[in-house]
Amino acid sequence: MENRLLEIKDLHVSYGSVCALWGVSLHVPEGSIVALVGANGAGKSTLLKTIAGMNRPKNGSILFSGKHITGLTPEAVVNAGIAMVPEGRKLFARLTVKENLELGGYIPRARPFIQKSLEQAYELFPLLKTKSNQIAGSMSGGEQQMLAIARSMMSRPTILMLDEPSLGLSPLVVKMMFELVEELNRKGMTILLVEQNIYQALKISHYAYVIKTGKIVLEGKGEQLLSDPEVQNAYLGTME
């Protein structure tokens, strides 16, 4: 049986009186890429932020490696092994590449390995090594996304949650970004990928969920959803 590394059950989240998630359930098997796709405002970031401990759910539970993590602080969630690359990257724009990376490793779980993690980050992203003293805010969009991913890897996560990594990048860089996600997965990383680039996300994922106004409306294997007429009509428009 597949090992459910992350399991979300019947999650309800509200912002004041506005309900953003209405009973969302999904799971991410260990070693897989699971995509969560949907339109603007569907609740994708809300779900990732709730898993990351930044929103408190009204109802429902979040299990990680079989343990309840619902209600933990964001620091405790990262320290448990869940890293998030937030929408818009959220780098420390005035700090250097190296300083950004080091800050990603300052949690108890990762601190003893900071030097090793840095070497691994530079191995995976040689460009970041050559630019290690550059100010993060002066890097290109694609480089900044790469740095954001590398920084979150510094916490030595078991699962990586990516919130729209392709946002604002040129087509060629978008392609590289998806290849990178696949490479991380081949190396053993479990990935929960949020995307509006539905075609690409479904293509690389093992399983996917479609979210619409706070509810999961469809789910299935990535390839299967790509050929689903409903997905094609509603989300893909004219297919590539």
Ligand X SMILES: Nc1ncnc2c1ncn2[C@@H]1O[C@H](COP(=O)(O)OP(=O)(O)OP(=O)(O)O)[C@@H](O)[C@H]1O
CA dist 89 and 97 (Å) reads: 13
User: Per CB under 5 A, which region of 5-13, 38-46, 130-138, 179-187 contacts Mg ion?
Assistant: 38-46
Among 15, 67, 239, 240, binds ligand X (CB under 6 A): 15
Sites for ligand X among residues 75-114 (CB under 6 A): 87
**CB nearer to ligand X: pick between 86 and 105:** 86
| Residue 20 binds which of Mg ion, ligand X, none (CB < 5-8 A, kind-dependent) | ligand X
CA dist 210 and 30 (Å) reads: 20
Among 42, 146, 161, 225, binds ligand X (CB under 6 A): 42
Residue 45 as a binder of ligand X (CB under 6 A): the answer is: yes
User: Per CB under 5 A, which region of 87-95, 111-119, 145-153, 212-220 contacts Mg ion?
Assistant: 87-95
Rounded to 5 degrees, what are φ and ψ at 10?
50, 50
User: Per CB under 6 A, which region of 34-42, 100-108, 115-123, 149-157 contacts ligand X?
Assistant: 34-42
Which among 64, 43, 66 is positioned nearest to 55, based on CA atoms?
43
| Residue 196 binds which of Mg ion, ligand X, none (CB < 5-8 A, kind-dependent) | ligand X
Residue 35 beta carbon to Mg ion: minimum distance, rounded to whole angstroms: 14
* Residue that has been written with the tokens 């405002």 in this structure: 41
DSSP code, position 134: S
Amino acid at 226: L
Strand stretches in the chain, DSSP E: 4-15, 18-29, 33-37, 59-64, 67-68, 82-85, 159-163, 190-195, 207-212, 215-220
User: Per CB under 6 A, which region of 33-41, 68-76, 93-101, 135-143 contacts ligand X?
Assistant: 33-41
**CB nearer to ligand X: pick between 17 and 233:** 17
What DSSP string describes 71-126?
T--HHHHHHHTEEEE-TT----TTSBHHHHHHHHT-STTTGGGHHHHHHHHHHH-H
Among 11, 33, 35, 44, binds ligand X (CB under 6 A): 44
Residue 11 as a binder of ligand X (CB under 6 A): the answer is: no
Cβ proximity of 23 and 11 under 8 Å: yes
Among 8, 20, 21, 45, binds Mg ion (CB under 5 A): 45
CA dist 134 and 99 (Å) reads: 10
Binding residues for Mg ion, rule: CB under 5 A, are 44-45, 87
Binding residues for ligand X, rule: CB under 6 A, are 15, 18, 20, 38, 40-46, 87, 196
